[in-house]
Chain A
Amino acid sequence: MSQVTTSPATAAFKASVRPERRDIGLRRRYASERRFRLYGLAAIAFGLLFLFLLLSSVVSKGYTAFLQTKITIPVEFSEQVIDKDGERATDPKVLMTANYPVVARNALAKVLGVDPGDRAAMREVGGMISDSVRVQLRDLVVADPSVIGRTVDVAILAHGNVDSAYKGQIDLGVDEKNRKVSDRQVGWMNQLAETGALAGHFNTGLFTNGASSRPEAAGLGVALVGSLYMMLIVLVLSLPIGVAASIYLEEFAPKNRFTDLIEVNINNLAAVPSIVYGLLGLAVFVNFAGFPRSAALVGGLVLTLMTLPTIIIATRAALKAVPPSIRAAALGLGASNMQTVFHHVLPLAMPGILTGTIIGLAHALGETAPLLLIGMVAFVADVPATPLDPATALPVQIYMWANEAERAFVERTSGAIIVLLIFLILMNVGAILLRRRFERRW
């Protein structure tokens, strides 16, 4: 320490003498603290790295799923092909069964200038168009039969292979025999792209279409609606049941062995593997109660069972966190137990309850295993009108697409994962906003 210079003004004071410095291990303590911080930083960096890898891989693979290659060409709805015998006025079946792919193929061949007599070339031309064109054109004609005999510009879905090739996902350096698009098709594709006839469009079909074995026509529509139904069922059932059960257990039930037992069981139920709930749902709802298989109703019920313990535990924790002084204040004023709970305790616990509920819902939204058991892993092409109709769910759809072999399904799988993640993020944001709103009221 520096010497204290004795100036006249401070001469009256005498600096106290510092005692021998003790070793209290400061260096060691600070070193261990630094070390611990490093561990923590490393752990977080590790986690962030994996999150980044996951997101970047999913997004880089999946973003193309939101674009779909379409070929816009003038299509001649030739009566010769659609309704050769002129029977459509008497037999509506004719329009349903007409050979629409030929109509589309002819139209494309005309644009490309391919000789209709060259059967091999014509087959390759047909291979550029999605098989779903049959449904697309059929719906167009059935909706408005007057187009027959006229020529109309139609955006036809390109075949999945062309779609992949256009997005650069097919390695054109590979020998022609070993890839799914021929050199000629690639040439046509480039020719069409130059004129602007072939281009990528936003893929609305991804959100509206049902299941399809043709990737370019497959969409999440059924899964979205199915998941929506199930979330509504889970919310409507598990929130009131869970909150009522927690309030009773926490505020009204006597504390004895029986309630202890219930509490232990609820905690255990939260840890039961979800597939067990699937089995339970299969046994109770499908086999015993006779609800239809693959229905969103059954899925919702199973997910409700699965979510209830989570909600009950979260709600009880939120109720416990309400300071006892608030209860005492209300009781001291002469509020009944019920009034105390509903006027004071429950509103204060609401943010916690909502958080627990939304986390439970998010958990349910991402759940796959129990849904597989109750048959929601089905090929459902039509969007379910009611929760009793067969449906699938988002994660199940991802699971199904991931099992498909075609290249175009890879991007669809990632696209579906992105959709699911966006939904989860939206739910969490919703939870945060709701909590903010509730908290601001006080």
Chain B
Amino acid sequence: MNILSEAAVEKALDKKMNDVSYKMIGQDVSVYYGDKRALYDVNLNVRENTVTALIGPSGCGKSTFLRTLNRMNDTIDGCRVTGRIALDGDDIYDPSIDVVELRARVGMVFQKPNPFPKSIYENVAYGPRIHGLARTRAEMDAIVEKSLQRAGLWNEVKDRLQESGTGLSGGQQQRLCIARAVAVSPEVILMDEPCSALDPIATARVEELIHELRANFTIVIVTHSMQQAARVSQRTAMFHLGQLVEENDTDKIFTNPDDQRTQDYIMGRFG
């Protein structure tokens, strides 16, 4: 197993003493798509049981960074990642790490609600099934119910679990996707603009859900909406042109950011 540089570990330990523990550590992360460089030496750590929002103008690399965290970039041809990313101290790009296991630990919710064209039950049960998390039908039922409850969807769908997941409304579909991600009991949930296809009420529901999930999961969310970042996150990281501009408490970023670019961006003066 690759060991992170001593400085980073020391930093993490140092932070731990200040009652902050980091779930994921990103160190000098650079991403290339072919010859094109999309991220420049990003150093960004993700705190445990915290919602970290990644904001910035389009094409700033925030989604790219998010996808490095569970190696979804692997599926893109010609994508190369350098630097180190660690989950609980283990380098996730180390050859000894199995990407399937990594993704079971670091779940993902996508921009467009993408339920499988199967029943609501099957959508939630799929993850636990492939990972063998339930031995009996009753166990699976319990997992499905708990996940749907966590996603705040149980009361709306409990009478029609066998109906197709694609028949739900957009907001319900997205919460179904969240339930599906939660069902695998990941440690980290990555959300890539989860509300960009939803109406304001559905968005509010998902945001409320994120707030509740925070107690049990570490969440990293990419969002185009600065207001959403302000609403849901405790930590905010601002990206610009593939670089991490600033990372700080959300309250600080949105009331009095350190960096002029952040200031201009959140005030709507560029981007």
Which of B12-20, B112-120, B253-261 forms contacts with chain A?
B112-120
B110:A328 contact, CB within 8 angstroms: yes
Which of A33-41, A330-338, A367-375 forms contacts with chain B?
A330-338
Closest Cβ of chain A to B151, distance in Å, is 14
A336 to B177: give the CA distance in the assembly, Å: 18
A335:B130 contact, CB within 8 angstroms: yes
A159 to B31: give the CA distance in the assembly, Å: 85
Interface: A344 (CB within 8 A) = yes
A326:B116 contact, CB within 8 angstroms: yes
Which of B86-94, B97-105, B223-231 forms contacts with chain A?
B97-105
A329 CB contacts on chain B under 8 angstroms: 110, 114-116, 177, 180
A339:B130 contact, CB within 8 angstroms: yes
By size class, the interface of chain A is 20 to 34
B184:A442 contact, CB within 8 angstroms: no
Considering the complex, which residues of chain A in the window 219-258 have a beta carbon less than 8 Å from any beta carbon of chain B?
Answer: 254-255
Interface: B108 (CB within 8 A) = yes
Task: Please give me the residue from chain B that is nearest to A255 by CB atom.
Answer: B77
A339 to B164: give the CA distance in the assembly, Å: 21
Question: Number of B residues whose C-beta is below 8 Å from A?
Answer: 29
B127 CB contacts on chain A under 8 angstroms: 333-334
A442 CB contacts on chain B under 8 angstroms: 117-118, 164, 166
B114:A328 contact, CB within 8 angstroms: yes
Closest Cβ of chain B to A126, distance in Å, is 71
A254 CB contacts on chain B under 8 angstroms: 77
Interface: B219 (CB within 8 A) = no
B116:A334 contact, CB within 8 angstroms: no
Closest Cβ of chain A to B114, distance in Å, is 4
Closest Cβ of chain B to A264, distance in Å, is 19
B103:A325 contact, CB within 8 angstroms: no
Closest Cβ of chain B to A339, distance in Å, is 6
Partner of B103, one of A255, A327, A334, A343: A334
Interface: B63 (CB within 8 A) = no
Closest Cβ of chain A to B7, distance in Å, is 32
With A323-B114, A325-B112, A326-B116 as given contacts, are A332 and B130 in contact (CB-CB < 8 Å)?
Answer: no
B180:A348 contact, CB within 8 angstroms: no
Partner of A328, one of B72, B117, B180, B184: B72
Interface: B181 (CB within 8 A) = yes
Most buried by A among B104, B112, B114, B164: B114
Q: List 7 A-B contacts (CB under 8 A).
A: A325-B110, A328-B75, A328-B110, A330-B126, A332-B181, A334-B100, A442-B164
Minimum-distance CB pairs A-B, first 6: A332-B108, A334-B104, A325-B114, A442-B117, A334-B103, A333-B127
Given A255-B77, A333-B104, A344-B116, 10 more pairs with CB closer than 8 A: A254-B77, A325-B110, A331-B75, A332-B181, A333-B107, A333-B130, A333-B181, A335-B130, A339-B130, A442-B117
